[in-house]
Amino acid sequence: MKKITIAIDGFSSTGKSTVAKQLAKALGYVYVDTGAMYRAVALYAMQNQLISNDHFDVEKLVSVLNKIKISFKYNDILGFAEVYLNGKNVEKEVRTLEVSQRVSQVAEISAVRKMLVQQQKQMGQEKGVVMDGRDIGTVVFPDAELKLFMTASTETRAERRYKELIEKNENVSYEDVLHNVESRDLIDSTREDSPLVKADDAIEIDNSNLSLDAQFEKLLVLAQNKISE
Ligand code: DC
């Protein structure tokens, strides 16, 4: 059967990864979470004291990019691939609010984007992939057969992210999470290199009032139609 590329972009916490995982499972495709790759680079910068509240040594980070090896390994129990940084599983660490507070600054750097986009293109070269991020339909796979652009109100998104973090026992306040969602959206959509914009041919899905099941059904039909075209 024909394989396609599914590109899912959108603001933070719009549920991209949830539906991307559902689609990948239903279609037998590979799911790639590109946000996890930017998060892993941010974690490396934090672990090596290259970034903190009042300082960010961009030059140094760029000079050590060749030491950052990011990979994914499928976890049978979880049903998706976890992210590894230089051989270590960092799936949990990259999801903390601390990393969320640094990652957009790291994702602004062109050298970081260039390195990661190259790896992403390689991961999807055989199609049969569902990839989510901010620039997948515009930069990584401008020829993707199906492009989705996810949106939801800021409050809905902050509530979702807050719940997720609380469930993981992270000690965060709703206000901090809301502030993080707003500030990341601003940086992600106004940066010079590959800002978050809806591709002209992307289908916009506002899921503020859509159940997970309803959303999945709708997007699966879109994907199946593209596959049988
Ligand atoms: O999807 P996420 O929230 O895990 O992504 C984390 C950050 O990484 C996000 O704020 C912007 C950046 N990012 C990006 O610039 N390009 C991508 N393709 C994916 C993520």
Ligand 1 centroid to residue 55 C-alpha, Å: 21
Burial class of residue 71 in the structure, from the number of CB atoms within 10 Å of its CB (0-12 exposed, 13-18 middle, 19+ buried) = middle
Calculate the average pLDDT of the chain.
96
Closest ligand 1 atom to Cα of 38: 8
Ligand 1 centroid to residue 100 C-alpha, Å: 9
| Torsion angle of C-alpha atoms 98, 66, 64, 138, degrees rounded to 10 | -50
Which parts of the chain sit beneath pLDDT 70?
Answer: none
Domains of the chain: 5-219 (3.40.50.300)
Q: 28 near 22, Cβ under 8 Å? A: no
Helix axes 174-190, 97-106, angle to 10 degrees: 10
Question: Is the CB–ligand 1 distance for residue 188 below 6 Å?
Answer: yes
Tokens 């660490």 label which residue? Answer: 93
Question: Is the CB–ligand 1 distance for residue 23 below 6 Å?
Answer: no
In this prediction, residue 17 carries a pLDDT of 94
Question: Is the CB–ligand 1 distance for residue 34 below 6 Å?
Answer: yes
Pocket of ligand 1, candidates 38, 72, 102, 117: which has the most ligand atoms within 8 Å of its Cβ, to mutate? 38
Condensed to tens digits (0 to 9), the pLDDT of residues 151-172 reads 999 999 999 999 999 999 889 9
Give the C-alpha separation, 60 to 111, whole Å: 12
In this prediction, residue 4 carries a pLDDT of 98
Give the C-alpha separation, 175 to 173, whole Å: 5
Question: Is the CB–ligand 1 distance for residue 135 below 6 Å?
Answer: yes
In this prediction, residue 1 carries a pLDDT of 85
